[in-house]
Chain A
Amino acid sequence: MTERPAPARLELLVRREDDEGFELREVASVVGFINSRPQRVPAESFELAEVRSRVGEWRYILKNTATDRFLLLTEREKFLWERMDGHTALQELATAYVLQYGEFDFEIIPNLIRKLQRAELLTLRPASRLRRILARNRGRRIAKAVETTLFGLERVMIASRDVQPFFQRLYRWGGFLLFTRAAAVACVALAVAGAFAVVGLWRELDAVMAGFGGSPVRAIVTVKLLFFASVAAHQLVHGLACVHYRRRVREFGFTFLHGFVPTFFVDVTDIFMTSRRARVVTAVSGALVHLVLGAVWFLAAARAPAGFVQAFAAASGIIQWQALVVSLYPFCFIEMDGYHVLVDALGVPTLKHDAMTYTRRLLTGRARIRRGREAALWLGYVVLSALSIAAFVVFNIWVILKATS
């Protein structure tokens, strides 16, 4: 038997923006593969037909209209094919597959890709439209500056992939207490006490906010920075939940999401290999950090004498509970914890993607209004998300106006 060679590796030298210095990166072909974004040929270049087999299973015949080549796809392969839009990485495809079917077949994606390539049904094109536009307009100073900034920020990533021992120690040294009945009861008790405190503070809202005195904006910025630290705690708890269910935390670190949103992150995708309950607990537990911290801040505000400390504590409580809502509320165009719970429950792992595609096609006249559960879900998601974002923006403007008046 011939032994399979180790994956090929490329050593790359990446120069810094200032042209002084560089960094070295070793990239295995496997990394290239899981980050690749396969794109099917344009809609006019293929046809898909349903056929029912003798045993009653649905199969699909995919035809390349340019070459007259045919492929027979299973329902699962069709699921993957429909998501090969040039934007979804293979890693995301695999996650969607697990969410949809509750299991993973390690060979299905590479086999399908090989099949599609043979039938010339995949094309290669850069995925990011923004990047393509920026690249086309490099001659313009602003475009060049934006591209350079995005490129620089995207490279800011402080992360470690050897974090499992750290999370295991953290779990042993007390982290396990977070996943006990007592912790759940304490969480509920704090939430109730916090809610009562909010009611009391609400009655004196103007007086509380007046505590910021002459520097409300500076105080709000400080509150936001303090909140940022709690995002790290949020991610740590996700990791602890993953360890609680005896799965592996693959990575933990800090980066700029999409090149401009500073955030901490934790990779707990290993949790997909366990039960739905484990996935839900892992998703929700991180967000509960904000519930607890918010309650503590509100209780502190309720007990503090009127003045800056009270206003600061109340604002911190608001921002923590706001983060709780944003984390758990699924309708905001952001794939946060609540969104993952929702798609898991609905069994529609690519809800946002499908909803956005359908709405875009609807608005540009390329699709007709469809009936049925699927289309209702898509439209419901887009409408609710749009309304929620608007409400969120209005609420924040109101908070700032209230604090500054």
Chain B
Amino acid sequence: MAPSPETLAFLREVRLFAAFADADLLAVAELLRTRTLRRRQVLFREGDRGDEMFIVRRGTMLVSKEITGKVEQVLVRVEAGDFFGEMSLLDGSPRSASVQADTDATLLVLGRESLQVLTDHAPHAAAVFFYSMVQVFIERLRRSTLQVAEATRWGLEATGLDVDSR
């Protein structure tokens, strides 16, 4: 089924596809599936197997990492136009974090086979796609570093640990 003009307009706003030519964008749009989630619905759990990545079309998704028992730390909120789940798509490893809907949400799903089709038939578009992805990875790495520092500060403040004079 041909993608709607709204879907194409939305994809144009997504960083991963910003540099795509119209034809390539159309090709990608045809490879995407749509999935909807209710508020609080879990998409996948840490440790699950998976070979898809997701682009948030509408709503907000919460990415969380297990700390202990039923308590998890919220790592990030993924808003419309952003993506997640690419790690399992690329290396086939189990999901490294859990993802659930913070609001009612609509996702666009890109599977490994679809990505292979893109790489085979539109190598230039695929190169642009991966380049954009690397840029996002670098941003996320920077943010993770800040998060580690903030979590460490939380621990020091919560225990009253005085490291200045140690």
Q: Are A12 and B160 in contact (CB under 8 A)?
A: no
Q: Are B157 and A32 in contact (CB under 8 A)?
A: yes
Q: Does B70 interact with chain A (Cβ within 8 Å)?
A: yes
- A51 to chain B: closest CB distance in Å? 24
* A3-32 interface bits toward B, Cβ cutoff 8 Å, 1 = contact, 0 = none: 001011111111111001110100001101
A22 to B62, CA, bound (A): 11
Known interface pairs A8-B150, A13-B64; A33-B72 also in contact (CB < 8 Å): no
A residues 99-149 touching B (CB-CB < 8 Å): 110, 113-114, 117-118, 124
Q: Are A22 and B100 in contact (CB under 8 A)?
A: yes
A5 to B146, CA, bound (A): 14
B residues 29-78 touching A (CB-CB < 8 Å): 40, 62, 64, 67, 70-74
- B146 to chain A: closest CB distance in Å? 11
Q: Are A9 and B154 in contact (CB under 8 A)?
A: yes
Known interface pairs A8-B150, A8-B153, A10-B154; A33-B73 also in contact (CB < 8 Å): no
B151 / chain A contacts, CB cutoff of 8 Å: 8, 10
Q: Are B153 and A29 in contact (CB under 8 A)?
A: yes
Q: Which of A15, A20, A113 has the largest count of B CB atoms less than 10 A from its CB?
A: A15
Q: Are A118 and B162 in contact (CB under 8 A)?
A: yes
Q: Does B145 interact with chain A (Cβ within 8 Å)?
A: no
* B90-133 interface bits toward A, Cβ cutoff 8 Å, 1 = contact, 0 = none: 00000000001000000000000000000000000000000000
Please tell me the number of chain B residues within 8 Å of chain A, measured between CB atoms: 24
A5 / chain B contacts, CB cutoff of 8 Å: 153
Q: Which of A8, A21, A30, A117 has the largest count of B CB atoms less than 10 A from its CB?
A: A8
Known interface pairs A13-B64, A30-B157; A24-B74 also in contact (CB < 8 Å): yes
Quick one: closest A residue to B39, CB to CB? A21
Q: Are B165 and A118 in contact (CB under 8 A)?
A: yes
B23 / chain A contacts, CB cutoff of 8 Å: none
Q: Does B1 interact with chain A (Cβ within 8 Å)?
A: no
Known interface pairs A21-B40, A117-B161, A118-B162; A13-B154 also in contact (CB < 8 Å): no
A36 to B155, CA, bound (A): 11
Q: Are A36 and B159 in contact (CB under 8 A)?
A: yes
Q: Are B157 and A7 in contact (CB under 8 A)?
A: yes
Q: Return the contact of B74 from the options A13, A20, A21, A124 (Cβ within 8 A).
A: A13
Quick one: closest B residue to A114, CB to CB? B162
A117 / chain B contacts, CB cutoff of 8 Å: 159-162
Quick one: closest A residue to B102, CB to CB? A24
A13 / chain B contacts, CB cutoff of 8 Å: 62, 64, 71-74, 100
Q: Return the contact of A118 from the options B67, B153, B156, B166 (Cβ within 8 A).
A: B166
Q: Return the contact of A33 from the options B70, B153, B159 (Cβ within 8 A).
A: B159
A29 / chain B contacts, CB cutoff of 8 Å: 153-158
A17 to B158, CA, bound (A): 27
- B36 to chain A: closest CB distance in Å? 17
- A46 to chain B: closest CB distance in Å? 19
B74 / chain A contacts, CB cutoff of 8 Å: 11-13, 24
* Besides the known contacts A29-B153, A117-B161, 18 further A-B residue pairs in the complex with CB atoms under 8 A apart: A7-B157, A8-B150, A8-B154, A8-B157, A9-B154, A10-B151, A13-B100, A15-B71, A21-B40, A29-B154, A29-B157, A32-B157, A32-B158, A32-B159, A33-B157, A36-B160, A114-B160, A118-B165
- Jot down 23 A-B pairs with beta carbons below 8 A, ordered by A: A7-B157, A8-B150, A8-B154, A12-B67, A13-B64, A13-B74, A13-B100, A20-B40, A21-B40, A22-B100, A24-B62, A29-B155, A32-B154, A32-B158, A32-B159, A33-B157, A36-B160, A114-B160, A117-B160, A117-B161, A117-B162, A118-B166, A124-B159
A113 to B160, CA, bound (A): 7
B40 / chain A contacts, CB cutoff of 8 Å: 20-22
A212 to B142, CA, bound (A): 73
Q: Are B160 and A33 in contact (CB under 8 A)?
A: yes
A13 to B69, CA, bound (A): 11
